[in-house]
Amino acid sequence: MRKRKKSRKKRISLKSVTSKRKKTKQHIRLATSLISSFKISLLVCVLGGTVIGLIYLERYIKETVPPPEGQIVLELADVPDWVNSELKQKALKAARGDLEDLRIDENAASLVQQNIDRRFAWLDDVKVQTTHNALLIEGRWRKPVGLIKSGRRSFYVDAEQVVLDFVQMPGMPIVEITGLPAARNIPPLGEVWEGDDLAAAITLLDRLERRDRIETSQKPLLSEINRIDVSNFDGLKNHKLPHIILYAKDDTKIIWGAAIGEWQRNLESTDEQKIAKLYSYYKEFGTLLGGVKFINLCIPQDDIPQPIDKY
């Protein structure tokens, strides 16, 4: 009996030891698993933080360190709203020219300014300044007032009669100037196109454009003008006929008469009266098109023409 009891106690003791060993191993495995999971999580956090740090470092470097050699960044400052993307790209292309292997410094700024002066007539009084990451281009933009066609070529002129190369300017009311002598030589881009007849057309268009800004910003009167004819400027062909005529887009004649400042010599309405009559008509009827056979602004104290059947 004693031997059986001893044997039974021994078996119980061995089972207890075995169970404790199993539990110890399970605890060790669980602890090992938790430690591994913690290490992996820590590694992910470290890698994530490193990536984020590198991104911010890259941004910081881009913002604070000048671009490497050969990568000149050019920027246009104070660009008017009427300048479209095509004209901006043309300006940047002209500014860069064939410049290579240059850093952002005063020498590069001087070369860019020379490029613009030689290759891009649209900008005047150009100044190129250096910043920490770019060359900043500033200047006065020449706004086209009139369009001139010569054969297959087209040009713009600004209020100072400076010749500008043709760029599509959709949405801008630029009036074609016709009646200039065909034999007149066209000056190079960026130079003044001399001529009293051209000056008279530009002065009138500039006066109307300024009035548009005050009175008809939503729908400019000039947007309905197709061309201005100066072929009889100063009565060159016939002193009895109007010197300057505007044509609406439906070919309605708008008889302006003598050049700005010459109304008294030709016994016409004053320039202010002509403009007032033209804009009064435009405001009253909302358009210059399809209403009358012609609009005569020359006759002093003339009433505003009323719309009639044109044909």
The model's pLDDT over 153-165, given as tens digits with 9 standing for 90+, comes to: 999 999 999 999 9
Q: What is the pLDDT of residues 61-91, one digit of tens each?
A: 333 344 444 567 889 999 999 999 999 999 9
Q: Yes or no: say if 107 and 72 are a contact pair by the CB < 8 Å rule.
A: no
Say yes or no: 291 and 149 in one domain: yes
Q: Which among 141, 175, 192 is the end of a domain?
A: 141
283 and 156 both lie in a single domain: yes
Q: Tell me if 8 is assigned to some domain.
A: yes
Q: Are residues 151 and 280 in the same domain?
A: yes
243 and 183 within one domain: yes
Q: Tally Cβ neighbours within 10 Å of residue 297.
A: 24
Whether 58 shows a pLDDT value over 50: the answer reads: no
Place of tokens 């933009």: 141
49 and 148 belong to one structural domain:
no
Query: Does the residue 169 lie in any domain?
Result: yes
267 and 149 share a domain? yes
Q: Does residue 255 belong to any structural domain of this protein? A: yes
Instruction: Using a pLDDT cut of 90, give the percent of the chain over it.
Output: 54
If one counts the domains in the chain, the total is: 3
25 and 87 co-located in one domain: no
Q: Which of 88, 119, 141 is a domain's end point?
A: 141
In-domain check, residue 45: yes
* DSSP calls for 144-212: EEEEEEETTEEEEEETT-BEEE----TT--PEEEE---TTSPPPPTTSB---HHHHHHHHHHHHHHHHH
Inter-residue contact 119 to 97 (CB < 8 Å): yes
Residue with tokens 């956090």: 45
Statement: residue 56 has pLDDT above 70: no
How far is the CA of 158 from the CAs of 78, 111, 179, 182, 225, in angstroms?
Answer: 19, 26, 18, 20, 17
Q: Are residues 29 and 128 in the same domain?
A: no
Q: Are both 178 and 165 inside the same structural domain?
A: yes
Does the global pTM surpass 0.85?
Answer: no
Residue 204's closest CA among 153, 253, 256, 161? 256
Q: Note whether 155 and 228 are same-domain residues.
A: yes
Domain region containing 105: 74-141
pLDDT exceeds 70 at position 112: yes
Looking at the fold, whether 226 and 290 belong to one and the same domain comes out as: yes
In a domain, 249, yes or no: yes
In a domain, 301, yes or no: no
Rounded distance between C-alpha atoms, residue 155 and residue 197, angstroms: 16
Domain match, 180 and 286 both: yes
**Domain end residue (candidates: 87, 107, 141):** 141
Q: Is residue 308 part of a domain?
A: no
